[in-house]
Amino acid sequence: MTTATAPAVSSARGALQTARPLITLGATFVVRKAMMKGYEARTGKPAPVIYSRDASVVSKVLWAAAMAATIAAIEIVLWQILDSDDD
CA proximity to 29, closest of 70, 81, 82: 70
Does residue 34 sit within a domain? yes
Does residue 71 sit within a domain? yes
Mean pLDDT per segment of 10 residues, for the chain of length 87 residues?
Answer: 59 76 89 93 90 88 93 88 69
Does residue 6 sit within a domain? no
pLDDT at 42: 95
Q: How far apart are CA 16 and CA 40, in angstroms?
A: 35
Alpha helices in the chain (DSSP H): 11-43, 57-84
Does residue 16 sit within a domain? no
How many domains are there within the chain?
1
pTM confidence score: 0.68
Does residue 4 sit within a domain? no
Are 35 and 74 in contact by the 8 Å Cβ rule? The answer is no
pLDDT at 86: 55
The backbone region for 55, taken as left when phi is positive above 0, alpha when psi lies in -120 to 50, beta otherwise, is beta
Does residue 9 sit within a domain? no
Q: State which residues form the domain around 47.
A: 23-84
Q: How far apart are CA 56 and CA 62, in angstroms?
A: 10
Does residue 62 sit within a domain? yes
